[in-house]
Amino acid sequence: MADFSITPKTRLKRKPDRGHYDRATVYQIIDQALICHVGFVVGTQPFVIPTLHARQGDRLLLHGSPGSRLIQHIQAGHPISVSIALLDGFVLAKTVLNHSMNYRSVVLFGAGQAVTGYEEKLAALECLTEHLAPGRWQQARQPDGKDLNSTAVVAMDIIEASAKIRTGEPKDDPDFQGLDVWAGVVPIITSLGKPEPAAYCLRSTPFPDLMKYIRG
Amino acid sequence: MADFSITPKTRLKRKPDRGHYDRATVYQIIDQALICHVGFVVGTQPFVIPTLHARQGDRLLLHGSPGSRLIQHIQAGHPISVSIALLDGFVLAKTVLNHSMNYRSVVLFGAGQAVTGYEEKLAALECLTEHLAPGRWQQARQPDGKDLNSTAVVAMDIIEASAKIRTGEPKDDPDFQGLDVWAGVVPIITSLGKPEPAAYCLRSTPFPDLMKYIRG
C-alpha cells in the first residue's frame, strides 16, 4: 500500500515526529473508531457534526437522513474535513504544562458524493453495519427497496490523509524530574457493559461480536 | 441558569426530541468530555482538529502552541464550531437500519479571543489542568513567566449551544419485533488501567484523582 502524499494541509508543522502518512496506520485508526467528526462550511460558517462512519477499501462511507444538512452538503460536492481521535491514556508530568494525552488521531480532507446505485448502496450499508457491529448484516433484517430510499449514503475517496500519534511516558525537563510528584501514564480502557435486551426481545440469539472495540 | 436560545444553527431539524438547550445539560457534557473537535475555515477549506478543552464558567478554554494554526485562527477572531461527543452504548435492533448509538453530544458556535493577562492566563491554565487531572495544579510544578509565554490560551463565550442526546432501547417496527435476533443496548464503559510510572518517577506521591472519567 502506497503512503499518502504529504500536503500543505496534512503536513505537521509542530512535533512532526508524531505524524504518520502510511496507509496501514491511517486505516487502522479509522477502523477502530466508532465515530468521526465531519467539518464543513456553509457560507463562512464552520460546522462540525459527529457521525458513524466505515471504511470501504480506499473510501470513507457516511450515512444519514436524505434531509440532513451534513448529507445534503456532501452530496453537493463541497469540501469536507474528517477528524477521528482515539484516546489511549493520560500523560501526567511533574510540570503542569508537560501534561498531555496519549492518542491516535486521523485527519482526512476531500469531497464526497452520493452512493445511489442499488447494489452499491446495499454494499455500503452492509459495510457501515458491519463496522458498527460485526455480523449484524446477516443476523438482522436487511433493508428492502423502500428502506433504501429513506437512508442516504455518501462516500469520500481517502486521498489526502494523515495520522498523528503520541505514545509513551511524559517528557519532563531534567531539572524537574526529581520533584516529588507522580509522573507517568494512566491508560484509558474501553470495554462493554452487561447487554440490556429490549423489552420486545424475548429471545437472545444471535448476539453480535463487539470485541474489536475493547481497548486498553 | 437561563436556557440557550435556539438559533437556525442549533435548532434540530431531525429528531427534535433529542435536542436540549438547558445550560446544565450542555455544561455536564462539556465537563465530562476529555476532548473536543474544533472546526474552522481557511478560505473555503474546512479544518477539524481534536484538542483538550475546559469550561471556565460560561466560556470554553482551549490552549496550544502560539504557532499552531488552530490557535492563531481563533486569536484572529474567526468563527469556530466546537463538537463534543460521548458514546454511551451500542443500540442493536432487529432491523439493520434501526441500529444506532446512545450518545450525548454538544455543539457550540462562536468566536474566541486570546487570553493574555498574566493572572487571567494563569487561572485559565489552572482550569485546563484541573479539567484534565483534578488536583494536579497544586501537585505539579506550576508555570513561571517563561512557561506562560510558550503556551497560548484562547477563550470562547458559550452563547450559541445545544446538546443532542439519545438514550434507551432500539426502536424496531412492531412488524419486526418478533424476529429471532437479539435487540437491545450494549453499554460502553470507560475505565482506567494500571498507572505506569515514568522511568524517572522514583516516588509516587501524590497521585491525581481521575475518577470523574470513569463512565458506564
The shortest CB-CB distance from B46 to any of A40, A101, A183 is to A40
pLDDT for res B2 = 76
pLDDT for res B206 = 60
Task: For residues A145 and A137, give the distance between their C-alpha atoms in angstroms, rounded to a whole number.
Answer: 16
Q: In chain A, what residues touch B69 (CB-CB under 8 Å)?
A: 13
Residue B135, C-beta contacts closer than 8 angstroms, at least 6 positions apart: B206, B208, B209
Cell of A163: 495520522
Cell of B182: 437479539
According to DSSP, the residues that pair with B52 across neighbouring strands are B35
Q: Could you read off the pLDDT of B61-83 as tens digits, one per residue?
A: 999 999 999 999 999 999 999 99
Q: What angle do CA A92, A93, A98 make, to 5 degrees?
A: 105
Q: Find the residue in A nearest to B83 (Cα).
A: A48
Cell of A100: 498531555
The shortest CB-CB distance from B95 to any of A35, A141, A201 is to A141
Return the number of CB contacts < 8 Å for A and B. 295
Give me the tens of pLDDT residue by residue for chain B, a chain 216 residues long: 779 999 999 998 888 888 999 999 999 999 999 999 999 999 999 999 999 999 999 999 999 999 999 999 999 999 999 999 999 999 999 999 999 999 999 999 999 999 999 999 999 999 999 999 998 999 999 999 889 999 999 999 999 999 999 999 999 999 999 998 999 999 999 999 988 999 998 765 666 677 766 776
pLDDT for res B65 = 93
CA-based radius of gyration for chain A: 20
Give the pTM: 0.93
3-state secondary structure string across chain A: CCCCCCCCCCCCCCCHHHEECCHHHHHHHHHHCCEEEEEEEECCEEEEEEEECEEECCEEEEEECCCCHHHHHHHCCCEEEEEEEEEEEEEECCEHHHCEEEEEEEEEEEEEEEECCHHHHHHHHHHHHHHHCCCHHHHCECCCHHHHHCCEEEEEECCEEEEEEECCCCCCCHHHCCCCCCCEEEEEEEEECCCEECCCCCCCCCCCCCHHHCEC
The shortest CB-CB distance from B48 to any of A83, A185, A199 is to A83
Reply yes or no: is the peptide bond before residue B206 cis, omega within 30 of 0. yes
Answer yes or no: do B107 and A48 touch at CB < 8 A.
Answer: yes
Q: Find the residue in A nearest to B93 (Cα).
A: A140
Instruction: Identify the three-state secondary structure at position B134.
Output: coil
List C-alpha distances in Å: A214 to A97, A209, B190. Answer: 31, 11, 10
Task: For residues B73 and B68, give the distance between their C-alpha atoms in angstroms, rounded to a whole number.
Answer: 8
List the one residue out of A139, A134, A143 whose CA is nearest residue A203. A139
Answer yes or no: do A50 and B79 touch at CB < 8 A.
Answer: no
The amino acid at residue B77 is G
Q: Could you read off the pLDDT of A168-195 as tens digits, one per residue?
A: 999 999 999 999 899 999 999 999 998 8
ipTM: 0.93
On the 0-12 / 13-18 / 19+ scale of CB atoms within 10 A, B209 is exposed
Reply yes or no: is the peptide bond before residue A206 cis, omega within 30 of 0. yes
Instruction: Identify the three-state secondary structure at position B41.
Output: strand
Q: In chain A, what residues touch B133 (CB-CB under 8 Å)?
A: 90, 92, 99
In this prediction, the residues of chain A whose per-residue pLDDT falls under 50 are none
